[in-house]
Chains A and B, each alone.
Chain A
Protein backbone atom coordinates (compact mmCIF):
# COMPACT_ATOMS: atom_id res chain seq x y z
CA UNK A 1 0.00 0.00 0.00
CA UNK A 2 1.37 3.34 -0.99
CA UNK A 3 1.59 5.88 1.78
CA UNK A 4 2.02 9.56 1.17
CA UNK A 5 5.08 10.37 3.21
CA UNK A 6 5.03 14.01 2.20
CA UNK A 7 1.91 16.11 2.01
CA UNK A 8 1.55 19.78 1.22
CA UNK A 9 -0.17 22.33 3.43
CA UNK A 10 -0.47 26.09 3.50
CA UNK A 11 0.23 28.13 6.61
CA UNK A 12 0.13 31.75 7.59
CA UNK A 13 3.48 32.77 8.99
CA UNK A 14 4.55 36.14 10.32
CA UNK A 15 7.53 37.81 8.71
CA UNK A 16 9.92 40.01 10.66
CA UNK A 17 12.34 42.16 8.69
CA UNK A 18 15.93 41.75 9.87
CA UNK A 19 16.40 45.52 9.98
CA UNK A 20 13.62 45.82 12.53
CA UNK A 21 15.50 43.69 15.06
CA UNK A 22 18.17 46.36 15.28
CA UNK A 23 15.60 49.09 15.92
CA UNK A 24 15.68 50.02 19.63
CA UNK A 25 11.87 50.40 19.77
CA UNK A 26 11.27 46.96 18.21
CA UNK A 27 10.89 45.04 21.46
CA UNK A 28 8.60 47.62 22.98
CA UNK A 29 6.40 47.74 19.84
CA UNK A 30 6.25 43.94 19.60
CA UNK A 31 5.28 43.63 23.26
CA UNK A 32 2.44 46.11 22.67
CA UNK A 33 1.10 44.20 19.68
CA UNK A 34 1.26 40.88 21.46
CA UNK A 35 -0.69 42.34 24.34
CA UNK A 36 -3.51 43.17 21.89
CA UNK A 37 -3.95 39.57 20.80
CA UNK A 38 -1.83 37.24 22.90
CA UNK A 39 -3.52 34.08 21.59
CA UNK A 40 -2.54 34.89 18.04
CA UNK A 41 1.13 35.29 18.91
CA UNK A 42 1.43 32.37 21.30
CA UNK A 43 4.11 29.99 19.94
CA UNK A 44 3.55 31.47 16.46
CA UNK A 45 6.12 30.71 13.76
CA UNK A 46 8.17 33.60 12.40
CA UNK A 47 10.26 33.95 9.28
CA UNK A 48 13.11 36.43 9.22
CA UNK A 49 13.23 38.52 6.04
CA UNK A 50 16.86 39.24 5.11
CA UNK A 51 16.15 41.46 2.13
CA UNK A 52 18.91 44.11 1.96
CA UNK A 53 20.14 43.04 5.40
CA UNK A 54 23.90 42.97 5.96
CA UNK A 55 25.53 40.39 8.21
CA UNK A 56 23.67 37.29 9.35
CA UNK A 57 26.41 35.13 7.94
CA UNK A 58 27.11 33.27 11.18
CA UNK A 59 24.91 30.85 13.13
CA UNK A 60 25.39 32.95 16.29
CA UNK A 61 23.58 35.93 14.82
CA UNK A 62 20.59 33.73 14.04
CA UNK A 63 20.70 32.25 17.53
CA UNK A 64 20.55 35.79 18.97
CA UNK A 65 17.57 36.64 16.79
CA UNK A 66 15.89 33.43 17.88
CA UNK A 67 16.41 34.32 21.55
CA UNK A 68 14.92 37.78 21.11
CA UNK A 69 11.80 36.40 19.43
CA UNK A 70 11.56 33.54 21.91
CA UNK A 71 11.18 36.03 24.75
CA UNK A 72 7.91 37.03 23.08
CA UNK A 73 6.79 33.37 22.72
CA UNK A 74 7.53 33.53 18.98
CA UNK A 75 9.39 30.68 17.28
CA UNK A 76 11.89 31.52 14.54
CA UNK A 77 11.53 28.82 11.90
CA UNK A 78 13.37 30.12 8.88
CA UNK A 79 14.58 32.93 6.64
CA UNK A 80 13.61 34.39 3.30
CA UNK A 81 15.32 36.62 0.73
CA UNK A 82 18.66 35.33 2.01
CA UNK A 83 21.98 35.29 0.15
CA UNK A 84 23.65 31.87 -0.32
CA UNK A 85 26.03 32.62 2.56
CA UNK A 86 23.14 33.62 4.81
CA UNK A 87 21.22 30.47 3.86
CA UNK A 88 24.21 28.37 4.87
CA UNK A 89 24.56 30.14 8.23
CA UNK A 90 20.82 29.84 8.82
CA UNK A 91 20.93 26.12 8.06
CA UNK A 92 23.75 25.73 10.60
CA UNK A 93 21.46 27.38 13.14
CA UNK A 94 18.70 24.92 12.21
CA UNK A 95 16.59 27.36 10.19
CA UNK A 96 14.82 26.67 6.91
CA UNK A 97 15.01 28.87 3.82
CA UNK A 98 11.66 29.93 2.42
CA UNK A 99 11.37 30.95 -1.22
CA UNK A 100 9.94 34.44 -1.34
CA UNK A 101 7.02 35.01 -3.69
CA UNK A 102 5.38 38.22 -4.77
CA UNK A 103 2.07 37.14 -3.27
CA UNK A 104 3.55 36.51 0.13
CA UNK A 105 2.43 39.16 2.60
CA UNK A 106 5.36 40.91 4.22
CA UNK A 107 3.28 41.94 7.18
CA UNK A 108 0.42 40.09 8.75
CA UNK A 109 -1.98 42.21 10.72
CA UNK A 110 -3.14 40.55 13.92
CA UNK A 111 -6.82 41.40 13.19
CA UNK A 112 -6.63 39.09 10.16
CA UNK A 113 -6.64 36.15 12.54
CA UNK A 114 -9.84 34.14 12.08
CA UNK A 115 -11.94 33.66 15.20
CA UNK A 116 -11.50 30.19 16.59
CA UNK A 117 -15.20 29.23 16.17
CA UNK A 118 -17.05 31.31 13.56
CA UNK A 119 -20.72 31.72 14.42
CA UNK A 120 -23.30 30.19 12.10
CA UNK A 121 -24.55 32.48 9.37
CA UNK A 122 -28.18 33.44 10.02
CA UNK A 123 -30.61 34.46 7.28
CA UNK A 124 -34.08 35.65 8.28
CA UNK A 125 -35.44 37.08 4.99
CA UNK A 126 -36.84 34.84 2.23
CA UNK A 127 -34.09 33.52 -0.03
CA UNK A 128 -35.37 34.40 -3.50
CA UNK A 129 -34.72 32.69 -6.81
CA UNK A 130 -31.28 33.52 -8.18
CA UNK A 131 -29.78 34.29 -4.77
CA UNK A 132 -26.75 32.35 -3.61
CA UNK A 133 -25.74 32.31 0.03
CA UNK A 134 -22.45 30.80 1.16
CA UNK A 135 -21.61 30.23 4.81
CA UNK A 136 -17.84 29.96 4.58
CA UNK A 137 -16.32 27.71 7.20
CA UNK A 138 -19.49 27.51 9.25
CA UNK A 139 -23.16 26.49 9.45
CA UNK A 140 -26.01 28.22 7.67
CA UNK A 141 -29.32 28.80 9.43
CA UNK A 142 -32.31 30.07 7.44
CA UNK A 143 -35.61 30.88 9.12
CA UNK A 144 -37.55 31.98 6.01
CA UNK A 145 -38.61 30.12 2.88
CA UNK A 146 -35.98 29.17 0.29
CA UNK A 147 -37.42 29.60 -3.21
CA UNK A 148 -36.84 27.41 -6.23
CA UNK A 149 -33.75 28.65 -8.04
CA UNK A 150 -32.07 29.82 -4.81
CA UNK A 151 -28.87 28.17 -3.61
CA UNK A 152 -27.65 27.59 -0.06
CA UNK A 153 -24.04 26.55 0.39
CA UNK A 154 -22.27 25.91 3.68
CA UNK A 155 -18.99 24.36 4.70
CA UNK A 156 -20.87 23.10 7.75
CA UNK A 157 -24.52 22.09 8.30
CA UNK A 158 -27.55 23.74 6.73
CA UNK A 159 -30.69 24.32 8.80
CA UNK A 160 -33.85 25.61 7.14
CA UNK A 161 -36.68 26.24 9.61
CA UNK A 162 -39.14 26.69 6.77
CA UNK A 163 -39.81 25.19 3.36
CA UNK A 164 -36.71 24.34 1.30
CA UNK A 165 -37.53 24.58 -2.40
CA UNK A 166 -34.13 25.58 -3.77
CA UNK A 167 -30.77 23.84 -3.61
CA UNK A 168 -28.85 23.05 -0.44
CA UNK A 169 -25.19 22.02 -0.48
CA UNK A 170 -23.74 21.23 2.94
CA UNK A 171 -20.15 20.23 3.68
CA UNK A 172 -19.13 22.15 0.56
CA UNK A 173 -15.43 21.86 1.43
CA UNK A 174 -15.67 18.13 1.84
CA UNK A 175 -16.94 17.68 5.40
CA UNK A 176 -18.70 14.31 5.15
CA UNK A 177 -20.13 14.79 8.66
CA UNK A 178 -22.20 17.80 7.60
CA UNK A 179 -25.99 17.48 7.53
CA UNK A 180 -29.02 19.26 6.11
CA UNK A 181 -32.13 19.88 8.18
CA UNK A 182 -35.36 21.40 6.91
CA UNK A 183 -38.94 21.77 8.11
CA UNK A 184 -40.34 20.92 4.68
CA UNK A 185 -38.36 19.21 1.98
CA UNK A 186 -39.24 20.29 -1.55
CA UNK A 187 -35.67 20.84 -2.68
CA UNK A 188 -34.42 20.91 -6.24
CA UNK A 189 -31.14 19.39 -5.14
CA UNK A 190 -29.50 18.35 -1.90
CA UNK A 191 -25.81 17.65 -1.54
CA UNK A 192 -23.38 16.75 1.21
CA UNK A 193 -19.64 16.82 0.53
CA UNK A 194 -20.22 16.48 -3.20
CA UNK A 195 -22.70 13.54 -3.13
CA UNK A 196 -26.02 14.80 -4.37
CA UNK A 197 -29.61 13.91 -5.16
CA UNK A 198 -31.78 15.88 -7.54
CA UNK A 199 -35.46 16.45 -6.95
CA UNK A 200 -36.44 13.42 -9.07
CA UNK A 201 -34.34 11.11 -6.91
CA UNK A 202 -35.78 12.26 -3.59
CA UNK A 203 -37.92 9.55 -2.03
CA UNK A 204 -41.60 10.45 -2.51
CA UNK A 205 -42.41 9.59 1.10
CA UNK A 206 -39.98 12.24 2.41
CA UNK A 207 -41.17 15.06 0.16
CA UNK A 208 -43.07 17.79 1.97
CA UNK A 209 -42.00 16.56 5.42
CA UNK A 210 -39.47 17.71 8.01
CA UNK A 211 -36.35 15.80 7.05
CA UNK A 212 -32.69 15.54 7.92
CA UNK A 213 -30.11 14.46 5.39
CA UNK A 214 -26.82 12.81 6.31
CA UNK A 215 -24.09 10.82 4.58
CA UNK A 216 -24.18 7.21 5.80
CA UNK A 217 -21.66 4.85 4.18
CA UNK A 218 -21.16 7.41 1.44
CA UNK A 219 -24.89 7.38 0.64
CA UNK A 220 -27.16 10.39 1.11
CA UNK A 221 -29.67 9.19 3.64
CA UNK A 222 -32.93 10.96 4.43
CA UNK A 223 -34.80 10.53 7.66
CA UNK A 224 -37.92 12.19 9.01
CA UNK A 225 -37.37 14.47 11.94
Chain B
Protein backbone atom coordinates (compact mmCIF):
# COMPACT_ATOMS: atom_id res chain seq x y z
CA UNK B 1 0.00 0.00 0.00
CA UNK B 2 1.42 3.35 -1.07
CA UNK B 3 2.27 5.72 1.75
CA UNK B 4 2.00 9.52 1.65
CA UNK B 5 4.69 11.20 3.76
CA UNK B 6 4.62 14.94 4.43
CA UNK B 7 7.85 16.72 5.29
CA UNK B 8 6.83 19.78 7.26
CA UNK B 9 7.99 22.15 10.02
CA UNK B 10 5.91 25.29 10.33
CA UNK B 11 9.07 27.39 10.34
CA UNK B 12 10.97 28.22 7.17
CA UNK B 13 14.62 27.55 6.45
CA UNK B 14 14.97 24.52 8.71
CA UNK B 15 15.68 22.02 5.92
CA UNK B 16 12.36 20.72 4.61
CA UNK B 17 13.37 20.63 0.96
CA UNK B 18 16.83 19.21 1.72
CA UNK B 19 15.15 16.56 3.84
CA UNK B 20 12.47 15.81 1.23
CA UNK B 21 15.16 15.34 -1.41
CA UNK B 22 17.40 13.26 0.83
CA UNK B 23 14.55 11.17 2.18
CA UNK B 24 13.11 10.46 -1.26
CA UNK B 25 16.54 9.56 -2.63
CA UNK B 26 17.21 7.42 0.45
CA UNK B 27 13.98 5.45 -0.03
CA UNK B 28 14.76 5.06 -3.73
CA UNK B 29 18.25 3.77 -2.92
CA UNK B 30 16.58 1.15 -0.72
CA UNK B 31 14.67 -0.05 -3.77
CA UNK B 32 11.32 1.67 -3.16
CA UNK B 33 9.65 3.44 -6.01
CA UNK B 34 9.40 7.00 -4.72
CA UNK B 35 8.13 10.34 -5.97
CA UNK B 36 8.78 13.66 -4.29
CA UNK B 37 6.25 16.48 -4.86
CA UNK B 38 6.99 20.17 -4.40
CA UNK B 39 4.02 21.83 -2.63
CA UNK B 40 5.78 25.17 -2.36
CA UNK B 41 3.88 26.75 -5.26
CA UNK B 42 5.45 30.02 -6.37
CA UNK B 43 8.73 29.34 -4.53
CA UNK B 44 9.86 26.34 -6.52
CA UNK B 45 13.11 24.94 -5.11
CA UNK B 46 12.89 21.18 -5.04
CA UNK B 47 13.89 20.89 -8.71
CA UNK B 48 17.09 22.82 -7.94
CA UNK B 49 17.95 20.67 -4.95
CA UNK B 50 17.27 17.56 -7.06
CA UNK B 51 19.26 18.95 -9.98
CA UNK B 52 16.49 18.65 -12.56
CA UNK B 53 15.56 22.32 -13.02
CA UNK B 54 16.45 22.27 -16.70
CA UNK B 55 14.09 19.43 -17.47
CA UNK B 56 10.86 20.97 -16.09
CA UNK B 57 8.16 21.32 -18.74
CA UNK B 58 4.84 20.66 -17.02
CA UNK B 59 4.23 20.92 -13.30
CA UNK B 60 2.01 19.84 -10.40
CA UNK B 61 -0.46 22.69 -11.01
CA UNK B 62 -0.78 21.79 -14.72
CA UNK B 63 -1.70 18.25 -13.70
CA UNK B 64 -4.13 19.43 -10.98
CA UNK B 65 -5.86 21.61 -13.59
CA UNK B 66 -5.90 18.80 -16.15
CA UNK B 67 -3.66 20.67 -18.60
CA UNK B 68 -1.09 17.89 -18.59
CA UNK B 69 -1.02 14.27 -17.51
CA UNK B 70 1.21 12.71 -14.88
CA UNK B 71 3.67 11.14 -17.30
CA UNK B 72 4.30 14.50 -18.95
CA UNK B 73 5.05 16.19 -15.64
CA UNK B 74 6.98 13.54 -13.70
CA UNK B 75 10.76 13.82 -14.07
CA UNK B 76 12.79 10.65 -13.72
CA UNK B 77 16.00 11.05 -11.72
CA UNK B 78 19.15 10.37 -13.73
CA UNK B 79 20.95 8.72 -10.81
CA UNK B 80 18.29 6.30 -9.62
CA UNK B 81 15.53 4.60 -11.61
CA UNK B 82 13.21 4.40 -8.59
CA UNK B 83 13.23 8.15 -8.01
CA UNK B 84 10.85 10.66 -9.60
CA UNK B 85 10.49 14.39 -9.09
CA UNK B 86 7.21 16.23 -9.41
CA UNK B 87 8.05 19.95 -9.68
CA UNK B 88 5.63 22.74 -8.91
CA UNK B 89 4.77 26.00 -10.64
CA UNK B 90 6.89 29.08 -10.07
CA UNK B 91 4.33 31.45 -11.59
CA UNK B 92 1.23 30.50 -9.64
CA UNK B 93 0.45 30.77 -5.93
CA UNK B 94 -0.81 28.45 -3.22
CA UNK B 95 -4.45 29.06 -4.13
CA UNK B 96 -3.86 26.88 -7.17
CA UNK B 97 -3.63 23.89 -4.80
CA UNK B 98 -7.21 22.68 -5.03
CA UNK B 99 -7.83 19.93 -2.51
CA UNK B 100 -9.89 17.76 -4.89
CA UNK B 101 -7.23 18.10 -7.59
CA UNK B 102 -4.45 17.19 -5.16
CA UNK B 103 -6.44 14.18 -3.98
CA UNK B 104 -6.96 12.99 -7.56
CA UNK B 105 -3.24 13.33 -8.36
CA UNK B 106 -2.21 11.52 -5.15
CA UNK B 107 -4.65 8.67 -5.82
CA UNK B 108 -3.17 8.27 -9.29
CA UNK B 109 0.40 8.31 -7.95
CA UNK B 110 -0.52 5.69 -5.36
CA UNK B 111 -1.12 3.21 -8.17
CA UNK B 112 2.52 3.21 -9.23
CA UNK B 113 4.59 4.43 -6.28
CA UNK B 114 5.47 2.94 -2.89
CA UNK B 115 6.19 6.29 -1.26
CA UNK B 116 4.91 9.77 -2.07
CA UNK B 117 6.91 12.50 -0.34
CA UNK B 118 5.17 15.88 -0.02
CA UNK B 119 7.61 18.76 0.45
CA UNK B 120 5.50 21.27 2.40
CA UNK B 121 5.89 25.04 2.23
CA UNK B 122 6.60 26.90 5.48
CA UNK B 123 3.74 28.40 7.47
CA UNK B 124 0.37 27.07 8.58
CA UNK B 125 -1.68 28.50 5.73
CA UNK B 126 -3.42 26.86 2.80
CA UNK B 127 -0.26 25.50 1.13
CA UNK B 128 1.05 23.79 4.25
CA UNK B 129 -2.40 22.51 5.24
CA UNK B 130 -2.95 21.03 1.77
CA UNK B 131 0.49 19.37 1.84
CA UNK B 132 -0.24 17.62 5.15
CA UNK B 133 -3.97 16.94 4.65
CA UNK B 134 -3.61 13.58 2.90
CA UNK B 135 -0.56 12.36 4.86
CA UNK B 136 -0.23 8.88 6.34
CA UNK B 137 3.12 9.75 7.94
CA UNK B 138 4.82 13.01 8.76
CA UNK B 139 8.46 13.94 9.18
CA UNK B 140 8.71 17.04 11.37
CA UNK B 141 11.92 18.87 10.52
CA UNK B 142 13.14 20.82 13.55
CA UNK B 143 16.28 22.78 14.33
CA UNK B 144 17.62 22.72 17.88
CA UNK B 145 16.34 26.19 18.74
CA UNK B 146 13.23 27.35 20.60
CA UNK B 147 11.35 29.08 17.77
CA UNK B 148 11.69 26.06 15.49
CA UNK B 149 10.54 23.73 18.29
CA UNK B 150 7.50 25.86 18.99
CA UNK B 151 6.49 25.98 15.32
CA UNK B 152 6.96 22.22 15.07
CA UNK B 153 4.70 21.79 18.07
CA UNK B 154 2.06 23.92 16.33
CA UNK B 155 2.24 21.90 13.13
CA UNK B 156 2.00 18.62 15.09
CA UNK B 157 -1.19 20.00 16.64
CA UNK B 158 -2.55 20.77 13.19
CA UNK B 159 -1.62 17.31 11.92
CA UNK B 160 -3.50 15.69 14.75
CA UNK B 161 -6.59 17.86 14.35
CA UNK B 162 -6.92 18.94 10.72
CA UNK B 163 -5.48 16.14 8.58
CA UNK B 164 -7.85 13.87 6.68
CA UNK B 165 -7.09 11.02 9.06
CA UNK B 166 -8.09 13.22 12.00
CA UNK B 167 -11.23 14.48 10.28
CA UNK B 168 -12.33 10.93 9.41
CA UNK B 169 -11.42 9.51 12.83
CA UNK B 170 -8.98 7.10 11.20
CA UNK B 171 -5.75 5.96 12.91
CA UNK B 172 -3.71 9.13 13.47
CA UNK B 173 -0.90 10.31 11.22
CA UNK B 174 2.31 8.58 12.21
CA UNK B 175 4.54 11.51 13.25
CA UNK B 176 8.36 11.45 13.39
CA UNK B 177 10.89 14.01 14.53
CA UNK B 178 13.97 14.77 12.46
CA UNK B 179 16.41 17.13 14.11
CA UNK B 180 18.48 18.95 11.50
CA UNK B 181 21.40 21.42 11.54
CA UNK B 182 22.51 19.90 14.83
CA UNK B 183 25.89 21.14 16.00
CA UNK B 184 27.13 19.06 18.96
CA UNK B 185 29.85 21.59 19.76
CA UNK B 186 27.35 24.40 20.15
CA UNK B 187 25.04 22.12 22.15
CA UNK B 188 27.88 21.49 24.61
CA UNK B 189 28.39 25.24 24.92
CA UNK B 190 24.69 25.65 25.70
CA UNK B 191 24.01 27.63 22.53
CA UNK B 192 21.63 25.05 21.12
CA UNK B 193 18.94 22.82 22.60
CA UNK B 194 19.96 19.22 23.18
CA UNK B 195 18.30 16.26 21.48
CA UNK B 196 16.70 15.42 24.82
CA UNK B 197 15.29 18.95 25.26
CA UNK B 198 13.59 18.80 21.89
CA UNK B 199 12.29 15.26 22.37
CA UNK B 200 10.86 16.15 25.75
CA UNK B 201 8.97 19.17 24.48
CA UNK B 202 7.62 17.57 21.31
CA UNK B 203 7.18 14.04 22.72
CA UNK B 204 7.22 12.26 19.35
CA UNK B 205 9.61 9.48 18.27
CA UNK B 206 13.00 10.61 16.98
CA UNK B 207 13.85 9.48 13.47
CA UNK B 208 17.31 10.94 13.35
CA UNK B 209 19.72 13.77 14.02
CA UNK B 210 21.32 15.40 10.99
CA UNK B 211 24.54 17.23 11.86
CA UNK B 212 25.16 20.74 10.56
CA UNK B 213 27.46 20.06 7.66
CA UNK B 214 29.00 21.83 4.73
CA UNK B 215 28.08 18.88 2.58
CA UNK B 216 24.41 19.91 2.81
CA UNK B 217 25.05 23.31 1.26
CA UNK B 218 27.29 21.75 -1.37
CA UNK B 219 24.61 19.15 -2.13
CA UNK B 220 21.91 21.81 -2.56
CA UNK B 221 24.03 23.94 -4.83
CA UNK B 222 25.08 21.08 -7.05
CA UNK B 223 21.60 19.58 -7.17
CA UNK B 224 22.63 16.28 -5.60
CA UNK B 225 20.56 14.93 -2.68
CA UNK B 226 22.96 14.60 0.22
CA UNK B 227 22.41 10.85 0.61
CA UNK B 228 24.28 10.35 -2.66
CA UNK B 229 27.33 11.74 -0.84
CA UNK B 230 28.08 8.62 1.17
CA UNK B 231 31.14 10.15 2.79
CA UNK B 232 29.43 13.11 4.40
CA UNK B 233 28.13 12.85 7.97
CA UNK B 234 24.81 14.43 6.91
CA UNK B 235 24.44 11.92 4.09
CA UNK B 236 25.07 9.01 6.45
CA UNK B 237 22.70 10.46 9.03
CA UNK B 238 19.91 10.65 6.42
CA UNK B 239 20.61 7.04 5.35
CA UNK B 240 20.20 6.04 9.03
CA UNK B 241 16.98 8.05 9.34
CA UNK B 242 15.49 6.35 6.27
CA UNK B 243 16.48 2.96 7.71
CA UNK B 244 14.74 3.81 11.01
CA UNK B 245 11.69 4.97 9.09
CA UNK B 246 11.62 1.53 7.44
CA UNK B 247 11.63 -0.04 10.90
CA UNK B 248 15.31 -0.83 11.43
CA UNK B 249 17.20 -0.17 14.64
CA UNK B 250 20.23 2.09 14.19
CA UNK B 251 22.34 3.74 16.81
CA UNK B 252 22.14 7.54 16.88
CA UNK B 253 25.31 9.06 15.47
CA UNK B 254 26.64 12.61 15.30
CA UNK B 255 25.01 13.71 18.55
CA UNK B 256 28.25 14.12 20.50
CA UNK B 257 31.16 16.39 19.62
CA UNK B 258 33.83 14.66 17.55
CA UNK B 259 37.11 13.91 19.18
CA UNK B 260 39.57 15.84 17.13
CA UNK B 261 43.18 15.11 16.47
CA UNK B 262 45.92 17.64 17.02
CA UNK B 263 46.05 18.75 13.38
CA UNK B 264 42.30 19.22 13.13
CA UNK B 265 42.33 21.51 16.15
CA UNK B 266 45.16 23.48 14.56
CA UNK B 267 43.55 23.82 11.17
CA UNK B 268 39.93 24.25 12.20
CA UNK B 269 37.02 21.95 11.51
CA UNK B 270 37.25 19.63 8.57
A residues whose Cβ falls under 8 Å from a Cβ of B? 125-126, 128-131, 144-145, 147-150, 165
Q: Which of A131, A145, A148, A165 contacts B157 (CB 8 A)?
A: A131
Interface SS of A by simple majority? loop
When the two chains form their complex, are residues A147 and B160 in contact, meaning their CB atoms are under 8 A apart?
A: no
Instruction: Looking at the assembled complex, report how far the CB atom of A151 sits from the nearest CB atom of chain B, in whole angstroms.
Output: 12
* B160-195 near A? 1/0 per residue, CB < 8 Å: 110000000000000000000000000000000000
Chain B residues with CB under 8 Å of A144's CB are: 203
Chain A residues near B161 (CB-CB < 8 A): 131
Residues of A within 8 A of B203 (CB): 126, 144-145
A/B pair count, beta carbons within 8 Å? 34
**Of A125, A129, A145, which contacts B160 at CB under 8 A?**
A125
Residues of B with C-beta under 8 A to A131: 157, 161
> What is the CA–CA distance of A130 and B155 in the complex, to the nearest angstrom?
9
Contact B153 A148 (CB under 8 A): yes
Report 7 cross-chain contacts, Cβ distance below 8 Å, ordered by A residue.
A126-B156, A128-B156, A128-B160, A129-B154, A147-B150, A147-B153, A148-B153
Please name the residue on chain B nearest to A127 by beta carbon: B157
**Cα–Cα, bound, A130→B156 (Å):** 10
Q: Are B150 and A148 closer than 8 Å at their CB atoms? A: yes
Q: DSSP class of B's interface residues: helix, strand, loop or mixed?
A: helix
Measured CA separation A182–B71 after assembly (Å):
56
Name the residue of chain A whose CB is nearest to the CB of B153.
A129
A150 to B156, CA, bound (A): 12
Supposing A145-B203, A147-B201 touch, asked if A130 and B154 sit within 8 A by C-beta, the answer is: yes
Complex Cα distance, B157 from A144, in Å, reads 13
A154 → chain B, closest Cβ, in Å?
19
Known: A129-B157, A131-B161. 6 other contacts (CB 8 A): A128-B153, A129-B151, A130-B153, A130-B154, A147-B150, A148-B153
Instruction: Compute how far the CA of A129 lies from the CA of B161 in the bound complex, rounded to whole angstroms.
Output: 12
Q: Which residues of A contact B156 (CB under 8 A)?
A: 126, 128
Pick from B154, B160, B161 the residue with the most CB of A within 10 Å: B154
* B160 lies within 8 A of A149 (CB): no
Q: How far is the CB of A141 from chain B (nearest CB, A)?
A: 18
Among B103-156, those with CB < 8 Å from A are: 124, 150-151, 153-154, 156
Residues of A within 8 A of B201 (CB): 145, 147-148, 165
Assembly CA distance A194 to B265 (angstroms):
57
0/1 string, B207-246, CB within 8 A of A gives 1: 0000000000000000000000000000000000000000
Contact of A149 among B124, B154, B158 (CB under 8 A): B154
Residues in A whose Cβ lies below 8 Å from that of B124: 130
A129 CA / B150 CA spacing, docked (Å)? 7
Q: Which residues of A contact B157 (CB under 8 A)?
A: 128-131, 150
Residues of A within 8 A of B154 (CB): 128-130, 149
Q: Least Cβ distance of B147 to chain A in Å?
A: 10
Complex-state Cα separation, A21 to B153, whole angstroms: 60
* Interchain residue pairs A-B with the least CB separation, the first 10: A128-B157, A129-B153, A129-B154, A130-B154, A147-B153, A128-B153, A131-B157, A129-B150, A128-B156, A149-B150
Report the separation of the CA atoms of residues A130 and B153 in the bound assembly, to the nearest whole angstrom: 8
> Which residues does chain B contribute within 8 Å of A145, judged by CB atoms?
201, 203
A165 vs B157: C-alpha distance when bound (angstroms): 15
| A146 vs B1: C-alpha distance when bound (angstroms) | 35
CB distance from B172 to the nearest CB of A (A): 9
**Whole-angstrom CA separation of A165 from B124 in the bound complex:** 22
A126–B161 alpha-carbon span in the complex (Å): 12
Q: Measured between alpha carbons, how far is A150 from B160 in the docked complex, in Å?
A: 15
**C-alpha gap A126/B159 in the complex (Å):** 13
- Chain B proximity of A147: nearest CB distance (Å): 5
Q: How far is the CB of A175 from chain B (nearest CB, A)?
A: 28
Tell me the minimal C-beta distance from B187 to chain A in angstroms.
20
Alpha-carbon gap, A131 to B161, bound state (A) = 10
CA separation between A147 and B200, bound complex, in Å?
10
In the complex, what residue of chain A is closest to B161 when comparing beta carbons? A131
Tell me, in angstroms, the Cα distance from A148 to B198 when the chains sit together.
13
Measured CB to CB, the nearest residue on chain B to A125 is: B160
Q: What is the CB-to-nearest-CB distance from A89 to chain B, in angstroms, rounded to a whole number?
A: 57
Q: How far is the CA of A54 from the CA of B124 in the complex (A)?
A: 61
Q: How far is the CA of A150 from the CA of B150 in the complex (A)?
A: 10
Scan B73-85; emit 1 where CB is below 8 A from any A CB, else 0: 0000000000000
Distance (Å) between the CB of B86 and the closest chain A CB?
Answer: 30
**In the complex, A165 Cα to B149 Cα: how many Å?**
13
Which B82-111 residues have a C-beta within 8 angstroms of A? none
| Distance, CA A150 to CA B157, complexed state (A) | 10
Give A150 to B124 CA distance when docked, in angstroms.
Answer: 16
